Amino acid sequence: MIKQLSVFVENKPGRLAEVTGCLSEAGINIHALCIADTTDFGILRLIVADADAAKAVLKQRGLTVKTTEVVGVALTHKPGSLYSVLLELEKADVSIEYMYAFTSRSMEYDAIVVFCLADQKNALEKLKGHRIPFIDAEVIKNMK
């Protein structure tokens, strides 16, 4: 499991700039982020070097922030690698709330896919024994 930051942001010019600005000032590196189409507001999801420090910084600014556990899966950069993971999820009857992927030259893997699974606790139980290359929080911590 890896730690993800969720930040409530209003949909108006400058909001993302403020959030990223706070992290910049605190010297916190962003590894990945995702925000979907929204109406008046959205939830910004971030994977950062130090999620707890980032949460403290954003809370200090008065933002509504939460850290959640999500699933990270390591992939190699070749056709079918994501498919094989999704196939395992299907076999285990696990659905996905949302997902996003990121890559970095400094990693020992080509890419990491972040999954938020529906009913995550049970989902993980169901996935026991399936061949999925999960990564743990250490991998994120050691990323440059």
Partner 1 sequence: MIWNPEIETASRNRVRAVQWERLLNTANHVYKNVPFYRERLNACHLPPERWSSPGDLQKIPFTTKEDLRSYYPYGLFAVPRKEVVRIHASSGTTGKPTVVGYTRADLDMWSECVARLVCMAGGRSGDIAQISFGYGLFTGALGLHYGLEKVGAAVIPISSGNTEKQLMVMQDFETTILVCTPSYALYLSETAEKLGIDLEKLSLRIGMFGGEGHTLEMSKEIERRLGILVTENYGLSEVLGPGVSGECPYKTGMHINEDYFLLEIIDPVTGEVLPDGAEGELVITTLKKEAFPIIRYRTRDITSLHYERCECGRTSARMAKVKGRSDDMLIIKGVNVYPSQVESVIVGMEHISPYYQLVVKKDGYTDVLEVHVELVDDKLLESFSELEKLEKTVKAQLYRVLGLDCHVRLREPGTMERTAGKAKRVLDLR
**Binding site residues, partner 1, CB under 8 A:** 6-10, 15, 36, 40-43, 62-66, 68, 97, 116
CB of 15 to partner 1, least distance (A): 8
Cβ nearer to partner 1, comparing 60 with 104: 60
CB of 110 to partner 1, least distance (A): 29
Asked if 61 contacts 24 with a C-beta cutoff of 8 angstroms, the reply is no
Half-sphere exposure of 42 (CA within 13 A, CB side): 16
Distance between CA atoms of residues 67 and 143, nearest Å: 19
CB of 142 to partner 1, least distance (A): 27
Q: Which of 109, 6, 118, 14 is nearest to 67 (CA)?
A: 6
Answer left, alpha or beta for residue 48, where phi above 0 means left and psi between -120 and 50 means alpha. Answer: beta
Cβ nearer to partner 1, comparing 12 with 131: 12
Cβ nearer to partner 1, comparing 32 with 74: 32
